[in-house]
Copies of this chain bind each other. A is one copy, B any other.
Amino acid sequence: MISARVASMAGKESETVPDDGASGAAGVDPEQLWLRSAERRRGRRPSFSREAITAAAVALADAEGLDAVTMRRVAAEVGAGVMSLYSYAPDKETLLELMVDHVSGELPTTNPLTGDWRADLKAIAHLQRAHMLRHPWLPAALATRRTPGPNTLAFLERALAALRPSGLDGAARLEVFAQLTAFVAGHVSHEITQAAAARSPDRSAAEARYLAAVAADGHHPELAEALASTGRPLTPEATFTRFLNRLVDGLDAD
């Protein structure tokens, strides 16, 4: 999802699609959000900072999930009145964008590239996975995200550099990175759901009973067999690596 918008710039696509599922058309102006100058001449001096507010929101999301990030909670955390937040971000959606870019600052952008672009790309994907596991709200937040901020762009720049030896052209490299990010987000989202479910034994047991009942109804032989299968348990890490390798090894400039 990172660079979704970027990828659409090079080589505009066609094929119409029904109405958007989750969000209105409004959104935020990226120029005003990311490029506005820091100069400030007249008027009262700000008591807080965009940095501090964003950091507080991130801490809240990390600790209690995305639902805990309300304007009231964030304001309380920072010691501000609720409406003061609106001096730093025009609305909550924008605050989410700031959060995403804020944590993107944690991603390394200066470690050496090996020159083996497949290996480098896999390493990047592993970085992204670890990053999303550290901030489990990220996959959900990325879905609503609109434009990449400076930290996101720095990481994108890094990924494009890693892909340079692949021989893919610019648009294709953007596309590969966007798809890779979508893949990682999808996987981590799945992984988080499973881990969360595993942590509540009551629900796990109820679900196991439900599936067993379905498998026993005679209409789901394949499911019954799959559930009875006794393969060695795979770690999410191993599954991720396996699918990632398949995806990346299949890439070439053709």
Residues of chain A touching chain B, judged by Cβ–Cβ distance below 8 Å, are: 1, 4-25, 27, 29-31, 34-35, 61-67, 133-140, 143, 146-147, 153, 156-157, 160-161, 164, 169-175, 178-179, 182-183, 185-187, 189-200, 203, 206-211, 213-214, 219-223, 225-237, 239, 243, 245-247, 249-251
A169 touches B229 (CB 8 A): yes
Residues of B within 8 A of A147 (CB): 207, 210
Given the complex of chains A and B, what is the CA–CA distance between A239 and B251 in angstroms?
Answer: 12
A18 contact from B62, B169, B187, B250, Cβ within 8 A:
B62
**Closest residue of chain B to A250, judged by CB?**
B246
How many copies of the polypeptide does the oligomer hold? 2
Given the complex of chains A and B, what is the CA–CA distance between A15 and B239 in angstroms?
Answer: 12
B136 touches A19 (CB 8 A): yes
Residues of B within 8 A of A5 (CB): 193-194, 197, 207, 211
Count chain B CB atoms within 10 A of each CB in A16, A174, A222, A250 and give the residue with the most. A222
By Cβ-Cβ distance, the 3 closest A-B pairs, closest first, are A170-B229, A246-B250, A170-B226
Shortest A219–chain B CB gap in Å is 8
B170 touches A228 (CB 8 A): yes
A250 contact from B8, B135, B198, B249, Cβ within 8 A:
B249
